[in-house]
Copies of this chain bind each other. A is one copy, B any other.
């Protein structure tokens, strides 16, 4: 930034352009040839940047793909913190998830744009990418637990238990939707089922597993 005005200077803008150039080159190459088939050296060359510079922008190869999803890690926590008064955390999260379904937010697994589908498949096909997604999941759990402690006044353990359950359920719903779309179903076809499943899942979350099995 310049000293006087708040505008980003040339240096800042150049950095942003480089960042985007590397990420774009990476994703294009990965989508075309597969994540494991393309080396970071090739990505650097395509982005006209040295390998060393690439790693200055993205700490690992996986981040070339997943940096876009990084802020979803704190999404549930933000929703809980920003919920309207007299709303329970669970209700706020349910409404947010249902809205995500209606709006075809990719995070719900209910977006069937070809680019999104190919990206999803790429992530599921590359073990190291899938593993880092699990890392996001536990990050989301931590963030949500913190938000619950601070805004719902629960004990620390209760908050962590609730967070694990909630994030796990959202994750499962999204994976299920993504799997069905990957299998060929369209988002519009799936939508009603996805909404019904989500409502059922949040009901389960509210009422517990008491009626899981009669035996």
Which residues of chain B are within 8 angstroms of A207 by Cβ–Cβ distance? 207-208, 210
Question: 8 shortest A-B CB distances, which residue pairs?
Answer: A208-B208, A164-B168, A152-B213, A207-B208, A134-B134, A165-B165, A206-B208, A168-B168
Q: Which of B89, B169, B214 contacts A161 (CB 8 A)?
A: B169
Bound-state CA distance A87–B160 (Å) is: 28
How many chain A residues sit at the interface, stated as a range, is 35 or more
Q: Which of B134, B161, B201 contacts A135 (CB 8 A)?
A: B134
Q: What are 17 A-B residue pairs whose CB atoms fall within 8 Å in the complex?
A: A86-B215, A88-B212, A90-B209, A141-B168, A152-B215, A154-B212, A157-B176, A157-B197, A157-B201, A158-B200, A160-B172, A160-B176, A164-B165, A164-B168, A164-B169, A206-B208, A206-B209
Using A162-B209, A165-B165 as known contacts, list a sample of 16 further A-B pairs with CB atoms less than 8 Å apart, ordered by residue number in A: A131-B131, A134-B134, A141-B168, A152-B213, A152-B215, A154-B212, A157-B201, A158-B200, A158-B212, A161-B204, A164-B169, A164-B171, A165-B168, A165-B169, A205-B208, A206-B210
Bound-state CA distance A135–B205 (Å) is: 24
Which residues of chain B are within 8 angstroms of A204 by Cβ–Cβ distance? 158, 161-162, 208
Q: Which of A181-215 contact B (CB under 8 A)?
A: 197, 200-201, 204-210, 212-215
* A87 with B176: CB separation less than 8 A: no
Q: Chain A 93-131 against B: per-residue CB contact (8 Å), 1 yes, 0 no?
A: 000000000000000000000000000000000000001
**Distance between A186 CB and nearest chain B CB, rounded to angstroms:** 19
